[in-house]
Amino acid sequence: MPNKEENPRKKNKPKLYTERKLPQRRCTGCGESKDKRDLIRVVRIPVKEGEPHVLEIDRRGKKSGRGAYICPEAACLAKAIKTRRLERSLAVPVTPEIVAELERQIGETSDQ
């Protein structure tokens, strides 16, 4: 006589409410939605009319302004630039300085 009951349905019980809900953002490279904190945010800092636009990389996702997101992947960065989705999301051209800074940060992230 078995003293341990097995419930086969227990295994298939869906995992509900165990994961914290995090804001999802879409990568401008691969187009996948991911946790905001897993993506690099590029933000267009608001400037006065007539002034040149300012782009910044915002790792904390706290700065205000128009933002675009990208996975910390060299392939996603290349794709976002090639397809111009990054600059379309920001509505301004992406400067080579920002691209270089993104490349540097992506390099740091993948070293971790």
Q: Which stretch binds Zn ion (CB under 5 A): 21-29, 58-66, 84-92, 100-108?
A: 21-29
Q: Which stretch binds Zn ion (CB under 5 A): 13-21, 43-51, 63-71, 86-94?
A: 63-71
Could you tell me the smallest distance in angstroms from the CB atom of residue 1 to Zn ion? 56
Residues in contact with 47: Cβ distance below 8 Å, sequence separation at least 6, in sequence order = 53, 54
Tell how strand 40-45 and strand 24-26 pair up: unpaired
Could you tell me the smallest distance in angstroms from the CB atom of residue 20 to Zn ion? 22
Residue bearing tokens 């992947």: 73
Could you tell me the smallest distance in angstroms from the CB atom of residue 82 to Zn ion? 13
Centre a 10 Å sphere on the Cβ of residue 102 and count the other Cβ atoms it contains: 23
Is 102 one of the binding residues for Zn ion (CB under 5 A)? no
Is 106 one of the binding residues for Zn ion (CB under 5 A)? no
Centre a 10 Å sphere on the Cβ of residue 17 and count the other Cβ atoms it contains: 6
